[in-house]
Amino acid sequence: MEISRELHAIGRPLLDAQLTHPTVRGIAAGDLPDPVFRSWLEQDYLFLLDYVRVFSRLAWQAPDGHLGDLVDLAHATWHDELDLHRSLSAEFGADLAGAVKGPACAAYTAFLLRSAADYAEGLAALYPCMWGYSTLGRILAENPPAEPRYRAWVETYADPGFAALAERIAVMIDEARPDPARARALFTEGMRHELAFWDVPPVL
């Protein structure tokens, strides 16, 4: 079995835990209180800024054949995901410029930036975000929320183009041949960070 497929099997229970998390359930139903999503949006904006840095650090180490892939992933994160956050920020009253990392965001980004010191390990560490959001988006899109702001969020991550980006990471992991035990450990830790991220900082 390819290591990426093994990671999917390991990650599925933690993905299921995300689907039952109150924040995700509120997005799925379209009734998550605005202040809760605003807090999540601010934290995820800060997370994605560092996620671009992670892609950039890995691009510096990448073989020539995957340099473009990582540049594309950084570009898509900066222009597509962050543009979504910027567009939603006004609708939810989010203060992206003044936001400060909460404990979950700080712990997750530190883990990713540290892991990106090694190409293969960095790919395994960041894969939970790409695979997890693509899978969540696909599942939530089966019964999308009627509320237009949350529907737009779901559609972004359910988009086949986003799934294709996640699959490119899977291919890169398999080709990089990380130590299987280390890849499993990093992927599992990343999935735990993903779950913890839904516990947004208290709304002031």
125 falls within a domain: yes
203 falls within a domain: no
Alpha-carbon dihedral 180, 185, 188, 193, rounded to 10 degrees:
-140
Q: What are the tens digits of pLDDT across the range 124-177? A: 999 999 999 999 999 999 999 999 999 999 999 999 999 999 999 999 999 999
32 falls within a domain: yes
178 token code pair: 């990380």
pLDDT score of 204 more than 90: no
Distance between CA atoms of residues 33 and 176, nearest Å: 42
What's the helix, strand, coil split of the chain in %, to 5?
80, 0, 20
Cβ-contact 136, 197 below 8 angstroms: no
202 falls within a domain: no
Q: What are the tens digits of pLDDT across the range 85-127? A: 999 999 999 999 999 999 999 999 999 999 999 999 999 999 9
139 falls within a domain: yes
pLDDT score of 203 more than 90: no
pLDDT score, position 197: 98
Calculate the CA 169 to chain-centre distance.
12
Q: Which long-range contacts (CB under 8 A, 24 or more apart) does 92-97 make?
A: 92/34, 92/37, 92/38, 92/41, 92/149, 93/34, 93/38, 94/38, 94/41, 94/42, 94/45, 95/42, 96/41, 96/42, 96/45
Q: What are the tens digits of pLDDT across the range 5-54? A: 999 999 999 999 999 999 999 999 999 999 999 999 999 999 999 999 99
Alpha-carbon dihedral 82, 83, 88, 93, rounded to 10 degrees:
70
204 falls within a domain: no
Number of domains in the chain: 1
* Separation of first and last alpha carbons in the chain: 47
131 falls within a domain: yes
pLDDT score, position 42: 97
pLDDT score, position 1: 66
Structural domain harbouring 31 = 3-197
168 falls within a domain: yes
Q: Assign 118 to helix, strand or coil.
A: coil
Contacts of residue 5, defined as CB under 8 A and 6 or more positions apart, other chains included, come to none
Distance between CA atoms of residues 39 and 52, nearest Å: 21
49 token code pair: 């800024």
Q: What are the tens digits of pLDDT across the range 48-89? A: 999 999 999 999 999 999 999 999 999 989 998 899 899 999
Which CATH number is 143's domain given? 1.20.910.10
